Amino acid sequence: MLFNSLQFAFFLPVIFLLYWYATRQSVRLQNYLMLAASYFFYACWDYRFLGLLIFSTLLDYFTAIQMANSTRQNQKRFWFWLSIAINLGFLGVFKYYNFFAASFADGLSLLGLKANPATLQVILPVGISFYTFHGLSYVIDIYNNKIKPERNFVDYALFVSFFPLLVAGPIERATHLLPQIQQPRVFDYTKAVDGLRQILWGLFKKVVIADNCAVIANAVFDGSANYPGSAHVIGAVFFAFQIYCDFSGYSDIAIGTARLFGIELLRNFSYPYFSRNIAEFWRRWHISLSSWFRDYLYIPLGGSKGSTWRKIRNVFIIFIVSGFWHGANWTFIVWGLLNALFIIPSVIARTNRNNLDVAASGKTFPSFGELASMIGTFGLTVFAWIFFRAESLGHAGRYLAKIFSRSIFDQPNLQKTDVLLTTSFFILCLVLLEWRGRANQHALADVGTKWRRPVRWVFYYGLLMAICVFAGSNQQFIYFQF
Amino acid sequence: MKKFLFHIGCFVLPLLVLAYPADLVLSKYLKQSHPYSDEYSVWNAIYEGKLNAEILVYGSSTAWVQVNPQSIADSLHRRVYNLGMDGHNFQLQYLRHKQVLKYNPPPKLIIQTLDALTLQRRPDLFNQDQFLPYMLFNKDLKNATANYKGYKPVDFQVPLVRYYGKQKAIRTAAELTLPTIGEPPVRVLGFQAQNKVWNNDLSAARNLMEKYTVQMDSASIQLFDHYLQECREKHLQLVFHYSPEFIVGQRFISNREDVIALYEKFSRKYGIPFYNYSTDPLTRDRDNYYNGLHLNKQGASKLTSKLIHDLQQEVSLNRCFN
């Protein structure tokens, strides 16, 4: 069940009304309802993997209690590593087995040896990387005595499976979400309206911008040989907007949906393309994953403490792992490596903690320097996205060769001019609206207080109309494959 | 909570109220356009009961581009309309037949154009936008297209839903609301001659595969049988006409003889005249074709003349017009 599907348009109001009318007397009932709704939501994807989700939930629920009950450190450590091993084992089998098997065979062939490792015909269970990371953060926090285990299975299961975040995040922390699940929720008109506004904005980004950008980006990436370098630049830029609007659109819908139920999820994006350097970009892009890696990998490795070499090592590790988290392909690893290379100069120069505020804070327009640094940062991310989108390293190489060829000065000759023009117009609208609202949680957050109702509603109707008329051909959310 | 639901209601109400009229307006203007092989002009004639024909030509693109109804009309002095449906096999040709009988007086004669693919099923709903203006609350269309990848039941039941993301259709309809002169229809009496020369479709197909084997669909065969029975019960006279492929194209289809044998079987079972021009000299001249399956304007003219000649010879036809 996609967020941008008709099924979801029926599912959400039904659950909303049941939640606030039929079960509002009891938080326990509300949680039962939400858990059932979440499992139904997941089963709509593929009911066969519901068992895996429930098993993963039971595993972390059980091992967390066992850790808390352990009287000896060895015992606690056993339960901790058991959980980690099984969680990562699932990820390894479903997501990485074929990659490792093929890479092993490739490695042996380089040495002149031949191996035919068995590959598995496995389907990647949707959301496995996300709910596994939910569980891992919970187990690690219990092990580190940061939180106490949740004894109520329904509450814990809802923390893992809450449907707005189940298949593509934001990756929540038990410290943030579990207390909200345990406490009674009160309907808040302002939050609910803002949630709807965020859903509308997320839908616009996904359906109008991302899905139409995909038409151009796919045409260029899939038919690279037919286009000159100039079209490759356009294809890469459109992919940059596609992935941003696809994923941040999903996150907006997820966060907005959760707000309808009185639950606040972690923020996942904060206008990343207005970043003035790569370090800032990574504080603003997929925030819940970046902060997860920061807290559970980077800091335990020593973080930015210690020698320069240690810092550089830690940066490389975190970005390689982050790349690998996205998918079992060398392209993602190179994408991670590139980002590490981009960020290392600022780590060495200790400028990575600069630019903590929004760009041109308190001003309408950025200075020339800010604008130049934003464009430069955007250029670097677009360069890295080419590896992220390419099918293989060879594909990425050929793509870049086209960009750095003389044909960059040729006419792009893209066939779908109408899609190109309308999407460019909507990208411009996106940039202007996001720039306008860059100090807020989401681009339309202050619309409710700053715009009069008639203006506001005309704007909402306009967005709805754009969604209905200019919806691109239905594309899966990119991050579902991770 | 009440305030929230009230505001949602106020916001949604105009959308609900306007959805149906907007759907009507959009559909009205879209019907006046001519994309998708100008299928709208044929659907309009059917649904508005304006076919006004004694002879109807059924079939796929092999009917649409090859059988000139005006020539037949001039020679036989009967009103003729070509209902050839681009890209669609018998399943949807039958839908057209049903709609014809529902909204128009029955024809006296049906020229059923057959080709190798008539009884093969295709999974996709080719040119699916051609159905857009006629879909709302249309059960016949819903049932006929239910087994195809394309529309969902809700598209037939809720106004405007089917127009979601249909940029091209919406833009076309919007353009037609402007006071400009619309483009003239490309089909005349449902027919559109193709003024084209030989292209490389056949060699491209042969590069992909050595031979093409038609996959006969049992449901389509059953439906075809049912249709013939129905025509007999309703006293609708039929003639079969097998579309003549270019001789090289004939060899490309591995089980072509089996397909024709099946049509002959139906012809014998129901006593329907069967005109098969597969060995006619026109199949040996590539100048008559623009690809292996379709005659161009010149070929269509020759074929129509042969068809007229054979129809004039057909004794049983005189009975059906008297």
**Least confident interval from A347-361, B89-103, B278-292:** A347-361
Q: Pick the residue from chain A with its C-alpha nearest to B8.
A: A193
| Interchain proximity A193–B4, CB inside 8 Å | yes
A9 touches B at CB < 8 Å: no
User: Cα separation of A281 and A270, whole Å?
Assistant: 9
pLDDT at A481 over 70: no
Same domain, A271 and A387: yes
The complex's ipTM works out to 0.80
Q: How much is the pLDDT for A360?
A: 84
Sheet holding B109-114, edge to edge: B80-82, B55-58, B109-114, B237-242, B274-276
**How long a stretch of residues is chain A?**
482
3-state DSSP assignment of residue B274: strand
The two tokens of residue B213 are 């084997």
User: Cα separation of A127 and B172, whole Å?
Assistant: 40
The two tokens of residue B234 are 């309703």
CA distance B19 to chain A (A): 12
User: Which amino acid type is present at position B74?
Assistant: D
Same domain, A116 and A147: yes
Residue with tokens 């040989």: A225
User: Cα separation of B132 and B148, whole Å?
Assistant: 15
Domain B38-128+181-321 is classified in which CATH homologous superfamily? SGNH hydrolase (3.40.50.1110)
Same domain, A241 and A375: yes
Same domain, A139 and A39: yes
Answer yes or no: are the C-beta atoms of B182 and B32 closer than 8 Å. Answer: yes
CA distance A424 to chain B (A): 16
Q: Which of B283, B84, B289 is nearest to B195 (CA)?
A: B289
Residues of A with catalytic roles: 326
Contacts A200 to B, Cβ<8 Å: none
Phi, psi of A30 (to 5 degrees): -60, -40
More confident residue, B298 or B179: B298
Contacts B3 to A, Cβ<8 Å: 189
Same domain, A42 and A128: yes
Q: How much is the pLDDT for B180?
A: 64
DSSP A315: H
| Interchain proximity A460–B4, CB inside 8 Å | no
- pLDDT tens, A453-478? 999 999 999 999 999 999 887 667 77
CA distance A123 to chain B (A): 23
- Picking from A21, A425, A469, A473 by the largest number of B CB atoms within 10 A of its own CB, the best residue to mutate is A469
Q: Which domain holds residue A106?
A: 6-185
User: Cα separation of B69 and A124, whole Å?
Assistant: 56
> Which of A170, A185, A200 is where one domain is finished?
A185
- pLDDT tens, B146-196? 988 889 999 999 999 999 988 888 988 888 877 765 667 788 999 999 999
Same domain, A21 and A136: yes
Answer yes or no: are the C-beta atoms of B195 and B297 closer than 8 Å. Answer: yes
Same domain, A264 and A405: yes
User: Cα separation of B165 and B302, whole Å?
Assistant: 43
- pLDDT tens, A215-232? 999 999 998 888 999 999
DSSP lists the bridge partners of residue B300 as: none
> Which of A185, A220, A241 is where one domain is finished?
A185
Same domain, A94 and A240: no
Contacts B167 to A, Cβ<8 Å: 418, 422, 469-470
Contacts B160 to A, Cβ<8 Å: 468
In chain B, how long is the greatest CA-to-CA distance?
79
Within-domain flag for A301: no
Q: Which of A59, A63, A62, A57 is nearest to A75 (CA)?
A: A63
Same domain, A114 and A214: no
Same domain, A27 and A149: yes
Choose among B4, B152, B170: nearest Cβ to A469: B170
More confident residue, A20 or A473: A20
Q: Which residues contact A222 (CB under 8 A, 6 or more apart)?
A: none
Within-domain flag for A154: yes
The two tokens of residue A348 are 């060495």
Average pLDDT in the A47-67 region?
92
Contacts B163 to A, Cβ<8 Å: 468
| Interchain proximity A6–B154, CB inside 8 Å | yes
> Which of A158, A185, A212 is where one domain is finished?
A185
Q: How much is the pLDDT for A233?
A: 95
- pLDDT-derived band at A115 (thresholds 50, 70, 90) equals low
* Helix intervals (H) in A327-408: 330-348, 368-389, 393-403
Answer yes or no: are the C-beta atoms of A370 and A276 closer than 8 Å. Answer: yes
Q: How much is the pLDDT for A350?
A: 83
Q: What share of chain B is helix, strand, coil (3-state, %, to 5)?
A: 55, 10, 35
CA distance A5 to chain B (A): 11
Q: Pick the residue from chain A with its C-alpha nearest to B7.
A: A193
- pLDDT tens, A398-432? 999 999 999 889 888 888 888 899 999 999 999 99
Average pLDDT in the B36-59 region?
92
Number of domains in chain A: 2
| Interchain proximity B15–A464, CB inside 8 Å | yes
B-contacting residues in A 174-193 (Cβ below 8 Å): 187, 189, 192-193
Choose among B4, B11, B165: nearest Cβ to A192: B4
In angstroms, the Cα distances linking A34 to A17, A62, A156, A405, B248 are 12, 21, 12, 55, 64
User: Cα separation of A328 and A94, whole Å?
Assistant: 10
Same domain, A176 and A226: no
**Least confident interval from A9-18, A442-451, B154-163:** A442-451
Same domain, A177 and A209: no
User: Cα separation of B199 and B291, whole Å?
Assistant: 6
